[in-house]
Structure 1
């Protein structure tokens, strides 16, 4: 009996040991203390853990098995690093310039091979076609022509040995099949993509390939039959399964991003009407959309660094109408549209209204230089698209607008500044 208890104790201890470890070495001049580790589910980053720097490195233990894309995010500088896991130890180091990450050195073998493979993929897509064209003009036996021909042969045949790296092999082969830009390849078909989606293992969700392959599917057919094509795919993947629900969630967000409102509404309604157990991914998509529909109460946000107000949150702002704007200093459309709102700002105030603008900037100086010229309430987390309100308020593009009433209920979702002005009858 004692022996059995001893064995069970060992199993319990081992269950708490890390599946693998991530070691990140940094220069002493790199100031961030904290790092967030993310795994991937489709196109969504999923927070795995947080860790504090010890000396000049981070040591992160990953407790559950995981193969696929990962990301390290340093919130203090809004910097990030993408890498992979083969469910084995990861090691990297990098150089910095004024807290900006440069020259990442992937030391573990899997990430080194992945980096090498992606470099070859880019050269095949963007450099090799140009070399083929140049080669047509150098058919002599000159040294340059020989070197050019050798480079063409090298890139054409270059391929690292992936036999020891199942995730890298999975990513490479499916990227080449479905996404590689190659004029000599036959166009991928709907049936090929459906076959892949239904038969692929769990690496699909962690590979970063799912969304671009879905976009490839949507682009492969006629726009006239798009809804029928999507119905065909969803029937094949089965929306009552986790895979099918993740695909459905991705499609809803794709349609939202590209302003395909009719299709978004159709498949969001389908998602809402499901009677089966819903996975976390689709549940979040449904909730985010419900919370930002016309008639819903706009979720509150506690200000981070708000200017031009003493209010602590959106709900604290007293106004009969609140115009919520999501923008960025690097957004050319914002540059064209925000002046139209500035021009009408006095009139908006005359209606007892207020403008509350949230920036998806990451550069503090760029944000501050622009925000000081905007007369309304401004705030930003300075985390770019990692900002919390991009998910909370279902923001896929800038500028984006909401109009709230005095009770913070959403009464309009204008597409452009002109629509805001028209809704408020300020033309």
Structure 2
């Protein structure tokens, strides 16, 4: 019995001392605005939950299980992409401070030599990278040879400093997790200033992935590669012409596929991330394009939820024909697709039990009277027909549709209605041309 107790004490002691933690302090001026912190491990396009805790005067501490693997971890304290701090975990305690309003630029590591090293590297390397780009852009505007020579000399000196900085930190980080990110974060710069902006852009694109090893498992098990890919696809080649922009997107996606090679798991993660961004943009042609590539992957590398979510969003994407529905009017069955009485339609889902609706719907009614060739379809979501019978009489010019079962109404679910009022603007062919958030946005659409 004594042996069992001693063994339990030793085992508990080993678990306790084998467990690391992340400890943080927010700026006290903002600490009362946040109540919790969640810790995730980042793995490609996925976030794996590790733990959570509440905040006490802007301070928190989360234990990291002894079984947790090395990698990049994320602290999230609000459900948006801005309210998060990433750090490297390499089986050591991590302590940090940061301003929750500006987490990326304000984070300081108090404990964790690896994160201190990587943080210092990013500060110095980024400053030199930005200076080199700035000198290149300045060079394009110079007219006289003397100024060009001065800028060229300064560029050469800065480039030398940058290469020395990269080499220094790569040596310092040997054997550490940070080494993988420092090497991959290096940026190519030509030995001499380029003469035209087009040469500059071509060079940026040509050498964008020069230092990124797509086969590096440490990079794959972080979000480094996915973030680089998003920048490459969405921000490196831009055109105001929609068709040209979509062609540039497709070309960039093909290049990313080639970089991923035969690594189907990496390809799946990258396509998932790209698809998510096109879903956010509601870019229907590119949603279809990427989904077609994604669904050609072997089944084990497909996420059914991703496919389902994309297909649902496609139904309601701007540019697509609005989902059809029918209703009874004076004993006659009518359908949205058969309406042919206007050049534009305002489809609004609302409810007579919604106070916000009771404010906006009368405003919409008065505004609709000022519009030509615009017809309003008021789809009223109700539990019974009492409110509908009362309020539909106030808007006789509209097509008034009763949707029983409220949120569970089939049409409401098809249109993913989660709040009222929700607006859709359709053209004469019932294609969705806008999805205003508020009545003021409806007004702005037609005034413009």
Calculate the TM-score normalised by the size of structure 2. Answer: 0.52
1:134-149 maps to which residues of 2 (within 5 A)?
none
Does the CA contact (< 8 Å) of 2:72 and 2:86 recur in 1?
Answer: no
Aligned length: 327
- The CA deviation at 1:192 is 6.3
1:249-398 maps to which residues of 2 (within 5 A)?
249-257=272-280, 260-272=283-295, 274-278=297-301, 282-294=303-315, 321-322=348-349, 343-344=367-368, 351-353=377-379
More helix by share: 2
Query: Relative to structure 1, is the Cα distance of residues 259 and 50 closer, same or farther in structure 2, using a 3 angstrom cutoff?
Result: same
Does the CA contact (< 8 Å) of 1:21 and 1:61 recur in 2?
Answer: yes
1:158 aligns with 2:165: yes
Aligned to 2:270: 247
- The CA deviation at 1:292 is 2.9
Does the CA contact (< 8 Å) of 1:239 and 1:245 recur in 2?
Answer: no
Match of 1:414 among 417, 430, 433: 433
Aligned to 1:175: 185
Once residues 204 and 65 of structure 1 are traced to their aligned partners in structure 2, the CA distance between those partners, rounded to angstroms, is 14
> Which has the higher Rg, Structure 1 or Structure 2?
2
Query: Relative to structure 1, is the Cα distance of residues 265 and 74 closer, same or farther in structure 2, using a 3 angstrom cutoff?
Result: closer
Aligned to 1:389: none
Query: Relative to structure 1, is the Cα distance of residues 190 and 341 closer, same or farther in structure 2, using a 3 angstrom cutoff?
Result: farther
1:196 aligns with 2:213: yes
Once residues 345 and 62 of structure 1 are traced to their aligned partners in structure 2, the CA distance between those partners, rounded to angstroms, is 62
Three-state SS of the structure 1 residue aligned to 2:108 is strand
Once residues 155 and 255 of structure 2 are traced to their aligned partners in structure 1, the CA distance between those partners, rounded to angstroms, is 47
Once residues 156 and 106 of structure 1 are traced to their aligned partners in structure 2, the CA distance between those partners, rounded to angstroms, is 25
Once residues 155 and 194 of structure 1 are traced to their aligned partners in structure 2, the CA distance between those partners, rounded to angstroms, is 15
Calculate the TM-score normalised by the size of structure 1. Answer: 0.54
Three-state SS of the structure 2 residue aligned to 1:24 is strand
Once residues 295 and 152 of structure 1 are traced to their aligned partners in structure 2, the CA distance between those partners, rounded to angstroms, is 49
Q: Which structure ranks higher in relative contact order (CA pairs < 8 Å, sequence separation ≥ 6)?
A: 1
- The CA deviation at 1:119 is 1.2
Does the CA contact (< 8 Å) of 2:39 and 2:73 recur in 1?
Answer: no
After superposition, the CA RMSD in angstroms is: 5.8
Once residues 117 and 126 of structure 1 are traced to their aligned partners in structure 2, the CA distance between those partners, rounded to angstroms, is 14
Question: What does the per-residue CA deviation read over 1:353-409, in whole Å, with 9 as the maximum and x for residues that have no partner?
Answer: 479xxxxxxxxxxxxxxxxxxxxxxxxxxxxxxxxxxxxx8xxxxxxx87499xxxx
- Could you list the runs of 5+ residues in structure 1 that have no partner in the other structure? 141-145, 299-318, 324-338, 356-392, 394-400, 406-410
Three-state SS of the structure 2 residue aligned to 1:176 is coil
Match of 1:81 among 82, 85, 91: 85
- The CA deviation at 1:205 is 3.9
1:27-66 maps to which residues of 2 (within 5 A)?
30-31=31-32, 32-42=34-44, 45-54=47-56, 57-63=59-65, 64-66=68-70
